[in-house]
Structure 1
Amino acid sequence: MSRQIALLRGINVGGHNSFPKARQLALAESLGFEDVSVLLQTGNIVFADPGTRPEETAQAIEDRISAELGLSVPVMVRTRDELAATIAANPFPQAVPEPKSLHVTFLSAVPADTAQLDALDLAAFAPDQFRLVGRELYLWCPHGIGRSKLAGVVSRAPLGVTATARNWNTVTKLLALADA
């Protein structure tokens, strides 16, 4: 069975945009999604492919969240195969044994303007590194994201797209859930 994965941006973070896990499940089911699972409280919903393009699915979820909760929550949706391709494309395989040091930022589209990222002197941020691969930005912070100066710079780069990040543990757990 084909699956889709919804990645909600900025919910249940720092006490803002409260949207409990049980409510996420109920909302997805109210949209007619079947075989729904929610991973963590931070907006990771896996469900049977409803037969719509991921962009349409994302818009339906955003609209329902706005209507029912009064929240403006950007949503990115990936198919199971797109998520598997994201994992396979990891440019930092050496980071996999320390999955909390590796993050993937999922983008709503391929950025048209990457000039600020391209202009970064990565040597100044070593050992931290990033790579933009299509609609995913991989960030490897060997000493932790909390200590990383690169993480802040990359997250503030104006790419002109919506973004939401997950650590490698979450990314791989989402694929396992999609495959279950």
Structure 2
Amino acid sequence: MATYIGFLRAINLGAKRKFPKAAIVAAVEKAGFTDVETYINTGNVRFDTTLRSRAKIETALEKAFEAEAGFPVPTVVFTQKELVAIADDAASFGHGGKHYVSLLKDAPTAAGIKAVEAVGTADEVARVGGRAVHLLLGENYHEAKLTNAAVEKHLGVATNRNLTVLSALAQRWC
């Protein structure tokens, strides 16, 4: 049995994409996973499974989430070790502004990395490490050009969390 952390993309946005924590837990349990726990209502879920293939885990969760929620829910899964590495990497950046992390479903290509880094400016920097894109931004995140949408344009499906949440999850669940 291994523990994984899943990050759901694009839930609880507007009236039609509501997916409460209790429904997420129910769907994960229906998919056959155990020891399920959520953290805040932004689509963070920890669970245990005997499956070892990340792709199979993501597929099982996405099928269960669509059945429960009634709409597709792209899901990005990491091991505990991977989540800790993402949080630890962030400490080395020494960035004083806003720090968000886009969590990628698939490993990025060299061309994709180059393209997403090119979107950055002196005030907005993307640093790619594995399946995590650290977005080092100025104080006003809502005016940034380097967003999760820009990441997805070049690197595929991603979901975004701020560093505070990822660090809390790493401490709580790993």
- Range into which the TM-score falls when normalised by the shorter chain: 0.7 to 0.9
Q: Secondary structure at the match of 1:165?
A: strand
> Which of the numbers 104, 109, 126 marks the counterpart of 1:107?
104
Paired position in structure 2 for 1:136: 132
Letter in 1 for 2:94: Q
Describe the superposition over 1:30-85 as per-residue Cα deviations: whole angstroms up to 9, x where unpaired.
22222211011111101124333222111101011223332111111101011111
- 1:156 Cα offset (Å): 5.6
Letter in 1 for 2:138: P
Paired position in structure 2 for 1:167: 162
- 1:118 Cα offset (Å): 4.5
In 2, Cα distance between the equivalents of 1:153 and 1:79? 24
Q: Secondary structure at the match of 2:146?
A: helix
Alignment of 1:66-85 (within 5 A): 66-85=66-85
Letter in 1 for 2:86: T
Alignment of 1:58-97 (within 5 A): 58-90=58-90, 93-95=93-95
In 2, Cα distance between the equivalents of 1:137 and 1:163? 9
- Kept after mapping to 2: 8 A contact 1:55/1:76: no
- Kept after mapping to 1: 8 A contact 2:30/2:64: no
Q: Secondary structure at the match of 1:45?
A: strand
In 1, Cα distance between the equivalents of 2:100 and 2:69? 29
Q: Secondary structure at the match of 2:35?
A: coil
Gaps of 5+ in 2: none
Gaps of 5+ in 1: none
Alignment root-mean-square deviation, CA = 2.3
Describe the superposition over 1:78-135 as per-residue Cα deviations: whole angstroms up to 9, x where unpaired.
010111111222275323x76xx11111111122332532544x4xx32221111121
In 2, Cα distance between the equivalents of 1:54 and 1:152? 22
Paired position in structure 2 for 1:33: 33
TM-score (norm 2): 0.86
Aligned residues: 172
More strand by share: 2
Q: Flag the 1:118–1:129 CA change in 2: closer, same or farther, 3 A.
A: closer
